[in-house]
Amino acid sequence: MRPRLLFLSSLPQRYWGRFTNPSFCLHEASVRSLRRHGGKQGHSPSLELLASDAAPEHSAKVQAATASSAAASPAPKNARGRQNPNIASPESGATANNLRVLRSARLEKVHAMRQAGVEPYAYRFEVSHSTQDLHQLFGDVEPGTIRDDVHVSIAGRIMNRRIFGKLAFFTLQDSSGTIQLYLDKQRITEHMQNRIPESFSRLKQWIDAGDIIGVTGSIRRTEKGELSVYVKEWTMLTKSLRPLPDKWHGLTDIEKRYRQRHMDLIVNPAVRDVFRKRAQITAAIRRFLDTHGFLEIETPALHQQAGGAEARPFVTHHNALDMDLYLRIATELHLKRLVVGGFDRVYEMGRIFRNEGISTRHNPEFTSIEIYQAYADYGDMMRLMEDLVVQVLRDVHQGVLQVRYQDTELDFSPPWRRVSLFQMLQERTGMDWRSTALSLEEARALAHKHGCPAGDARSIAEVAVAVFESLCESDLVQPTFVVDHPRETSPLAKPHRSESGLVERFEVYCAGRELANAFSELTDPVDQRERFVEQSARKAAGDLEACDVDESFLAALETGMPPTGGLGIGIDRLVMLLTNAPSIRDVIAFPLLRPTLEYPNDGSDDAE
Amino acid sequence: MELSSGNTIETVTSDQDLRNETVGSDDGSVLSKNELKRRMKAQRLAAERELRQSSRVQQHQAAARDASSGNQEADEELMTSQQYFSHRCRVVEHFRSSGEDPYPHKFYVTCSVPQFIAKYSYLGVGERLDGEEALAGRIRSRRLSGSRLFFYDIFADGTKVQVMADARLDTAGNFATVHSALRRGDIIGVRGYPGRTKTGELSIFPVETRLLSPCLHMLPKPHQMLSDPETRYRQRYLDLIVNREVRPIFELRANVIRFIRKFLDERGFLEVETPIMNAVAGGANARPFVTFHNELGVNMYLRVAPELYLKELVIGGLDRVYELGRNFRNEGIDMTHNPEFTACEFYAAYLDYKDLMDLTEAMLSLLVKELTGHLKIKYHPEGRHALENEVEIDFTPPFKRISVMDALREALPSELRPLFPESEQLGTDESRFRLETICERVGVVCPPPVTEARLLDKLFGALVEPKCVSPTFVCDHPEIMSPLAKWHRNRPGLTERFELFVNGRELCNAYTELNDPFVQRERFLSSQRDADKGDAEAMAKDEDFCTALEYALPPTAGWGIGIDRLVMLLADQNNIKEVVLFPALRPRPNSDGDEAAELRDRVQDLKVKE
């Protein structure tokens, strides 16, 4: 198939309902940039854009397109749950129309380029430097000097255009930063005469903000001190059909940033840094564990039986086997089987799924790491946790152990504070929740008094944990190990070696949130069976988060599991802390969002 | 790597009688109600089975038991697995009641077994040091010589060391209690002196021995495990304990993954994570898993590939990204397919598929060289035990490059070649008719729906794939087979795509990415038409992705590799289940829910067959 020449009229009508993205309001943007650039007539990028976009020779076709789109059928229901929110937002028909005009003008340019024998969707471009490289290599070039002895070749997105007759300045952004392109008519015409005639006016005509282009040339610093690529040749690499969103708009409409992450990344360079840091953090964790003799393992994400945590699982169905499967809610039980199998130090970093609501702290799929170390107990896991975080800070935070998170400074210098859960609870509520004199009814009443509903709690221990979570969690700002939980709420943890009724477990809290969870693992199969049976009774009584008796796991324990310490860390939450992100959605590239309303008949803005 | 080494597990050789206990019946020790119930059920099952089996083996066992009555350890060898289990439970209870904790919280290990061996291998015969070390591991074999001298081989981290427990050295004061309770399979910790025995065996001479976790089941012997592969996968931990060649496969797997991450990190690629649950399944032709999000009340699909999200990130300005993770396809299970599998995809802006061929050659040749030590590897397509069926796979770059259409045409018998359509003709009824005719003539069956893409795929699979043993780039697929690849810059009807075939199987798939939003929409629509014809694997249209493309995706090349298949090649395994720790298996027939009891039955059955 040859690249199809796509005329507006040849497009299936159904496309047109979608191209009414009114929130990229060029109207406001242009007015603002007019002000920013002092309103110099003809030189403002926005004016330039509008002027060329609304050029008279195009207007006839544009109108035809508008007319044909009036009959457009309602757009198909959103594909990925990240439905374009703009359709549903009440914007004026005028701006929607404006966008359509801009887009069709860009389509005309695609057509024009192909007619001139220039492919607007190129195949490859040889890049010699990143913009960051250039700033580093040529940081010392004096203002007003030209380094024509060097040859550079860079590519990226045009963020901004300023045109002054025979001279133009574009801002090009690549993944490392931005640089100015110094575009001189004579120089470009000279170098490109064999490729594209009148290449400078083509450049002005064809290239819009948002396009991806590649340029070759040398280096020049302007009189004003701006380091620039002194362009000899340019190549259109990908023509963009939609104008870039206005920067300020992106910042205010948070939902839209998540729904259209690609635009968020284009206009907010800081977002890219978050994901770079996320990759550095996971790499640092892997490096730390690999050097300490841990083996990275992959266990199934589809389980025949959900277990290893208290959570509601997602259910799916395997067609060929005709059986229901559960998406894993934890990796725990499989990793422990491997410890039984002789892998003394294992970890898995991967996705976990829980069928629960979405919030600034919860995404239905999230990344966790679980680490198991044979012959270790929960005390060892506390040290491992501290060492691991210190190592991560060394790698991604220049070794500084103090991290600014929102309004507080978190200090990760070890050793971290350790508090007993019941002791803290006693200090906060003034009473001993482990007292044998306390009845379940009294406990519930007390919880109620503290403003914590615990009506469905089945034991005093559960009430106590619920009260702890609602009263004490928010006080735990600095990294803290909360240790020694009640047996009833920890079905996979080993009984405490000296305190009856408790287990050897800790949770790490930081900035008022749970960050990690660890136990001395329960290795006694008889005890484990009793815990499972208790869980299964709760499930029978309607607790959707409880699990069943997992016979195959018990069979593994019966084969003998060494004393083992296990530690689970929420990677997303760790990344939130280290990137100062208030919401989990800031650290997940494509968070799950509530589907927006059904499409209203978006013919409404076509019908004007 | 000890891939080929055999297994040598010594059995208990003692004929010493340490304690006289009745065997095989349940004792009166206090158990929890549930434990009791479970055991009763297991007993009942065992009894039923024994009734069913009137084999001579049973009689033989009974005879043997009579002959050596009063010999407890020899008896253990002859017990049914159920009897053994009850017996061991009783021993553990007894141990507990004598004040010892059979599941202690902590044992301080000073060094790992491999470290111990490295540190003390210099010791001469009969030499013994004074400094203490503490080791832990699982007992692989146990021998005794009187009641005051015990020998154990313990395994940890894939290596073995001997423990020579001499009562005269013991300072813990529970020598008899502990050592009479220990059995093959138990996890123990020993603290003592490093040394070498008079027979030259590097050993640890403990002053203290602790039971850390008892093994309540009789460990199967390697040949028992091999006879039933399903047990190996269902109880992978037993497989790992018993079969020493299993562990290195998963160490290799971790190394492969680490190598790929390192290779890409060094070249400026950023590792990212994109959603596994999507409202639409896209990025590959495959049947997805469906699930339901309760709170949002929507159906969601498990990803079949992360492709579209990764390209959105390239649009966002992350020029080089990769994701290494799980993908899901709702299809049957066979030697090369598991419903969940690990793949790595990467995308690089401003490169094209030719650049990626070079990168692929670099990555794979370096990887194979680093992990196996050679560029040529031996592989056994019929399994490692079919030695006569050996092929050599040569990863020396450059790899062979062939074009799909040319290779297909050449593979046809000469009289059929004129019938084979030109690439420009594809997409017409005539070419479909011709392909159908060709398939019929060469005896290739294409189950419905009969689309050109599927016809070509079947033909290629039958005629060309088997010939690609050493790595071969198969390039320039027709557009109808590649909805996300960019049209070829010179050859109409084709795309800029390659698949890397090794040993007749697809290992990598890559293309210059289609970045023209209109052509992409057209492709989705035509794919949709295939879906309407009944091809359930055809890709659904993703409007969000098309919209994202309108913001301009730079010229980009994208690449994917199946990690499981790569590990299969390097580990010389022909079944994906050998390189996945917990492969998906058919639910067991007649499963009554009490899986563990059935597992015990199975072990028992194996024992009886022996």
Q: Domains of chain A by range and CATH?
A: 101-238 (2.40.50.140), 271-416+478-586 (3.30.930.10)
Confidence of residue B3 (pLDDT cuts 50, 70, 90): very low
Chain-chain contact of A595 with B298 (C-beta, under 8 angstroms)? yes
The answer to whether residue A57 scores a pLDDT higher than 70 is no
Confidence of residue B164 (pLDDT cuts 50, 70, 90): very high
Number of domains in chain B: 2
Chain-chain contact of A590 with B155 (C-beta, under 8 angstroms)? no
What pLDDT does B21 receive?
35
Beta strands A302-303; A323-327: pairing state: antiparallel
> DSSP label at B90?
H
Q: In angstroms, rounded to a whole number, what is the distance separating the alpha carbons of residues A562 and B137? A: 8
Residue numbers in B near A244 (CB within 8 A)? 551
CATH classification at residue B127: 2.40.50.140
- A contact test, residue of B550, B576, B591 with most A CBs within 10 A: B550
Task: Look at residue B557 and give its three-state secondary structure.
Answer: strand
Q: What mean pLDDT comes out for the span B548-571?
A: 95
Is B279 in CB contact (< 8 Å) with chain A? yes
What pLDDT does B553 receive?
95
Residue numbers in A near B214 (CB within 8 A)? 560
Chain-chain contact of A590 with B274 (C-beta, under 8 angstroms)? yes
Q: Which of A4-8, B335-339, B344-348 has the highest mean pLDDT?
A: B344-348
One-letter amino acid at B137 equals G
Residue numbers in A near B331 (CB within 8 A)? 319-320
Residues B167 and B282 reside in one and the same domain: no
Among B165, B190, B213, the domain boundary falls at: B213
Extended beta strands in A375-476, E state: 402-405, 408-411, 417-420
- Give a yes or no: residue B236 inside a domain: no
What pLDDT does A252 receive?
60
The shortest CB-CB distance from A3 to any of B272, B519, B593 is to: B519
**Chain segment A122-174, per-residue pLDDT in tens:** 999 999 999 999 999 999 999 999 999 999 999 999 999 999 989 999 999 99
Residues B175 and B261 reside in one and the same domain: no
CATH classification at residue B521: 3.30.930.10
Residues B298 and B366 reside in one and the same domain: yes
- Give a yes or no: residue B483 inside a domain: yes
What pLDDT does B38 receive?
64
> DSSP label at B32?
-
State the SS3 of B288-316: CCEEEECCCCEEEEECCCCHHHHHHHHHC
Phi, psi of A444 (to 5 degrees): -60, -40
Confidence of residue B597 (pLDDT cuts 50, 70, 90): low
Please name the residues between 160 and 219 in chain B that touch chain A, using a CB distance below 8 Å.
Answer: 185-187, 189, 212-217, 219
Query: How many residue contacts between A and B have a Cβ separation below 8 Å?
Result: 383
- Give a yes or no: residue B130 inside a domain: yes
What pLDDT does A256 receive?
78
Q: How many CA atoms lie within 13 A of A308 on its CB side?
A: 27
- Give a yes or no: residue B560 inside a domain: yes
Chain-chain contact of A365 with B293 (C-beta, under 8 angstroms)? no
Q: What mean pLDDT comes out for the span B158-169?
A: 94
Confidence of residue A13 (pLDDT cuts 50, 70, 90): very low
The answer to whether residue B31 scores a pLDDT higher than 90 is no
- B contact test, residue of A15, A104, A316 with most B CBs within 10 A: A316
What pLDDT does B516 receive?
92
Please name the residues between 399 and 438 in chain B that touch chain A, using a CB distance below 8 Å.
Answer: 427
What pLDDT does B535 receive?
66
Q: What mean pLDDT comes out for the span A451-469?
A: 84
CA angle B504, B470, B354 (to 5 degrees): 95
Please name the residues between 449 and 478 in chain B that touch chain A, using a CB distance below 8 Å.
Answer: none
> DSSP label at A415?
S
Residues B161 and B282 reside in one and the same domain: no
The Cα of B216 is separated from the nearest Cα of chain A by a number of Å equal to 5
Q: In angstroms, rounded to a whole number, what is the distance separating the alpha carbons of residues A12 and B518? A: 10
What pLDDT does A78 receive?
38
The answer to whether residue A300 scores a pLDDT higher than 60 is yes
The Cα of B313 is separated from the nearest Cα of chain A by a number of Å equal to 6
Summary mean pLDDT of chain B = 83
The Cα of A90 is separated from the nearest Cα of chain B by a number of Å equal to 20
- B contact test, residue of A4, A9, A106, A298 with most B CBs within 10 A: A298
The answer to whether residue A363 scores a pLDDT higher than 50 is yes
What pLDDT does B70 receive?
41
What pLDDT does B530 receive?
72
Which residues fall within 8 angstroms of residue A386, CB to CB, at 6 or more apart? Answer: A412, A414, A415, A416
The answer to whether residue A22 scores a pLDDT higher than 60 is no
Q: In angstroms, rounded to a whole number, what is the distance separating the alpha carbons of residues A272 and A257? A: 13
Ramachandran class of A419: left when φ > 0, alpha when ψ lies in -120 to 50, beta otherwise? beta
What pLDDT does A444 receive?
87
Phi, psi of B207 (to 5 degrees): -95, -20
Is A593 in CB contact (< 8 Å) with chain B? no
The Cα of A295 is separated from the nearest Cα of chain B by a number of Å equal to 7
b/e map B491-522, b = 16+ CB within 10 Å = eebbbbbbbbbbbebbbbbbbbbbbbbbbbbb
Among B169, B194, B213, the domain boundary falls at: B213
The answer to whether residue A305 scores a pLDDT higher than 90 is no
Residue numbers in B near A498 (CB within 8 A)? none
What pLDDT does B538 receive?
61
Extended beta strands in A133-184, E state: 146-164, 167-174, 177-184
- Give a yes or no: residue B419 inside a domain: no
Residues B349 and B272 reside in one and the same domain: yes
The Cα of B438 is separated from the nearest Cα of chain A by a number of Å equal to 23
Question: In terms of CA atoms, which chain A residue is nearest residue B306?
Answer: A590
Confidence of residue B227 (pLDDT cuts 50, 70, 90): low
The answer to whether residue B443 scores a pLDDT higher than 90 is no
What pLDDT does A81 receive?
39
**Chain segment A187-197, per-residue pLDDT in tens:** 999 999 888 88
The answer to whether residue A580 scores a pLDDT higher than 90 is yes
The shortest CB-CB distance from B155 to any of A214, A342, A365 is to: A342
Q: In angstroms, rounded to a whole number, what is the distance separating the alpha carbons of residues A221 and A185? A: 18
Q: In angstroms, rounded to a whole number, what is the distance separating the alpha carbons of residues A321 and B589? A: 12
Residues B207 and B278 reside in one and the same domain: no
The answer to whether residue B287 scores a pLDDT higher than 70 is yes
Residues B285 and B187 reside in one and the same domain: no
Please tell me which residue, B561 or B593, carries the higher pLDDT value. B561
The shortest CB-CB distance from A520 to any of B105, B325, B525 is to: B105
Q: In angstroms, rounded to a whole number, what is the distance separating the alpha carbons of residues A443 and A463? A: 7
The answer to whether residue B440 scores a pLDDT higher than 60 is yes
Distance, CA of B85 to chain centre: 29
- Are A483 and A506 in contact by the 8 Å Cβ rule? The answer is yes
The Cα of A494 is separated from the nearest Cα of chain B by a number of Å equal to 8
Is A128 in CB contact (< 8 Å) with chain B? no
Please tell me which residue, A371 or A535, carries the higher pLDDT value. A371
**Can the peptide bond before residue B418 be classed as cis, meaning omega within 30 degrees of 0?**
no
The answer to whether residue A70 scores a pLDDT higher than 80 is no
The answer to whether residue B337 scores a pLDDT higher than 50 is yes
What pLDDT does B442 receive?
87
Residue numbers in A near B319 (CB within 8 A)? 174-175
Residues B508 and B389 reside in one and the same domain: yes
- Give a yes or no: residue B152 inside a domain: yes
Nearest to B2 by CA among B247, B291, B351: B247
Residues B197 and B309 reside in one and the same domain: no
What pLDDT does B36 receive?
58
Range of the domain at B204: 84-213
CA angle B151, B156, B159 (to 5 degrees): 80
Please tell me which residue, A90 or B171, carries the higher pLDDT value. B171
Residue numbers in B near A494 (CB within 8 A)? 103, 105
**Chain segment B56-77, per-residue pLDDT in tens:** 444 444 444 444 444 566 677 7
Chain-chain contact of B313 with A340 (C-beta, under 8 angstroms)? no
Please tell me which residue, B526 or A225, carries the higher pLDDT value. A225
Q: Which of the residue ranges A300-304, B41-45, B255-259 would you say has the lowest mean pLDDT?
A: B41-45
Phi, psi of B233 (to 5 degrees): -80, -35
What pLDDT does A46 receive?
35
Please tell me which residue, B253 or A431, carries the higher pLDDT value. B253
Task: Look at residue A410 and give its three-state secondary structure.
Answer: strand
Is A256 in CB contact (< 8 Å) with chain B? no
Please tell me which residue, A274 or B172, carries the higher pLDDT value. A274
- Give a yes or no: residue B340 inside a domain: yes
Question: In terms of CA atoms, which chain B residue is nearest residue A286?
Answer: B258
Q: In angstroms, rounded to a whole number, what is the distance separating the alpha carbons of residues A110 and A121? A: 9
Chain-chain contact of B289 with A316 (C-beta, under 8 angstroms)? yes
**Chain segment A117-129, per-residue pLDDT in tens:** 899 999 999 999 9
What pLDDT does A14 receive?
30
Task: Look at residue A215 and give its three-state secondary structure.
Answer: strand
**Chain segment B393-425, per-residue pLDDT in tens:** 999 999 999 999 999 999 988 888 888 888 888
Please tell me which residue, B531 or A366, carries the higher pLDDT value. A366
**Chain segment A538-573, per-residue pLDDT in tens:** 888 888 888 889 999 999 999 999 999 999 999 999
Confidence of residue B34 (pLDDT cuts 50, 70, 90): low
Distance, CA of B512 to chain centre: 32
Chain-chain contact of B350 with A127 (C-beta, under 8 angstroms)? yes
Q: In angstroms, rounded to a whole number, what is the distance separating the alpha carbons of residues A461 and A445? A: 14
Residues B177 and B275 reside in one and the same domain: no
**Chain segment B346-386, per-residue pLDDT in tens:** 999 999 999 999 999 999 999 999 999 999 999 998 888 87
Residues B259 and B204 reside in one and the same domain: no
Chain-chain contact of B587 with A242 (C-beta, under 8 angstroms)? no
Percentage with pLDDT > 70 across chain B? 81
Q: What mean pLDDT comes out for the span A532-536?
A: 91
- Give a yes or no: residue B105 inside a domain: yes
Residues B274 and B208 reside in one and the same domain: no
* pTM, full prediction: 0.83
Chain-chain contact of B584 with A300 (C-beta, under 8 angstroms)? yes
Q: In angstroms, rounded to a whole number, what is the distance separating the alpha carbons of residues A37 and A50? A: 15
Q: What mean pLDDT comes out for the span A388-392?
A: 96
Chain-chain contact of B518 with A524 (C-beta, under 8 angstroms)? no
Summary mean pLDDT of chain A = 82
The answer to whether residue A77 scores a pLDDT higher than 70 is no
What pLDDT does B63 receive?
44
The alpha carbon torsion through A461, A467, A468, A471 (nearest 10 deg) reads -170
One-letter amino acid at A118 equals V
The shortest CB-CB distance from A212 to any of B237, B287, B552 is to: B552
